[in-house]
Amino acid sequence: MADPNAPSADDVAVLDLVRQALLAYPGAAEVAMIWGDRAGMWFTQVRPRNSRAASLDIAVDDDRTLNLTVGRTWFEVFGEVQASLPYLRDLVDAVFAGAVEESGWHDGFARIKTRDALVRVGALHLPVPWRLRKVRRYESYATAG
């Protein structure tokens, strides 16, 4: 009988995707899959060695929802997980490349520049123009920290 708390095939696919993306940044981060007791799901955690690069946590909530935290910004990606993996790879590549700007502290709002688009994610905020916000710009995983 299979262990009900064992990582699912989708959890393993996310971990493999992250490890594959990190091949371009040898030794730049620690990667682990951990069980989150409070959330009741597995998390792929990426902790960059460069303290000015964005950390990354990805969890498969169910077969149609991915939970991501980039730096201090949490958001979800909806749609069948396997079909969402190419989009997830674009987001992961952008995070590792340092293409992330973030505003806010506890309920962050971020802009992630993927290869195809500028993706806006995170908490809803008052309609304040981006140029007037206090913004953190994360560095690449390749940058020495």
- pLDDT tens per residue, range 82-125: 999 999 999 999 999 999 999 876 677 899 999 999 999 987 65
Residue 45 CA to residue 27 CA, distance in Å, equals 15
pLDDT of amino acid 2 = 52
Distances (CA, A) of 4 to 1, 41, 66, 99, 120: 9, 11, 19, 37, 35
Q: Which residues contact 83 (CB under 8 A, 6 or more apart)?
A: none
Q: Give 78-82 contacts, CB < 8 A, sequence gap 24+.
A: 81/10, 81/13, 81/14, 82/10, 82/13
More confident residue, 2 or 68: 68
The pLDDT of residue 100 is 96
Residue 123 CA, distance from chain mean position: 15
d(CA 24, CA 54): 16
Q: What is the pLDDT of residue 1?
A: 45
pTM: 0.90
Average pLDDT over residues 51-72: 96
Rg value, the chain, Cα:
15
Residue range 1-48, pLDDT digits in tens: 456 679 999 999 999 999 999 999 999 999 999 999 998 999 999 999
Higher pLDDT, residue 94 or 133: 94
